[in-house]
Amino acid sequence: MFVALAALAVLLAGTAPAARAATAATAAPPAAPRLAQQTAATWYGVEVIVFRTSSVNSVEDWDAVPPGRGFGSSAGRGGGTPQVLRVLTPTDYRLNTLEATLKTSGAWHPVAHAAWIQTAANWGTRAGIALSDVGINVPGLSGMVYLERAPIYLHLGFDVRLSAGASYAIREMRSVRYNDRQYFDHPGFGIIAVVTPIKRAEPAPGSSP
């Protein structure tokens, strides 16, 4: 697993400096966003690339769903349901170059790429958005995306399963900084994601002036 992570870190480092920090986030929690960042936006742009590895250690049993990292207890707080305001087209993607790099690497194969504008739920609600609601309809890939807003921190999480011969799952929630690429890891597959703040006074990407 760590060999694959190191190789991916080298690959991502060649695409953008911010990617090194994203991969390092798998080893240590990222620094929290400042409060000023949180109060500036009410809409959020989210972009994700889901990819699988070319080979997985067959000795390990990866069918078992790992315990959620950072999910805590199930939903028990109010705070509204997040809404998808707009699903973006590939011309609005920011990670196209990274997807192309993954495709040519030989070690990782993108299986889904999507971007959208959404609102966020309050921290602890566990009210997510289905992959199908943001245009991800890939056989064997299913799950939810969570974006939750706390007074200081913004949290991004995934509860996603990929069935590709074996069945793999990522279930993790973490605090994130705006515009930093985040890598959610598993030896069988991974998710790269970035969250961008959008002020309500600004038109959402892909919308008419």
β-bridge pairing 121-122 and 141-149: parallel
Q: Are 37 and 196 in contact (CB under 8 A)?
A: no
- pTM of the full predicted structure? 0.76
Question: Which regions of the chain are under pLDDT 70?
Answer: 1-41, 55-79, 200-209
Domain ranges across the chain: 2-198
pLDDT digits (tens, 9 = 90+) for 54-106: 766 554 555 555 666 666 555 555 567 899 999 999 999 999 999 999 999 88
- CA angle (164 as vertex; 109, 142 as ends), nearest 5: 90
Within 15-132, strands assigned E span 43-53, 84-87, 108-118, 121-122, 129-130
Rounded CA separation 200/198 (Å) = 6
Token duo for residue 75: 């939903």
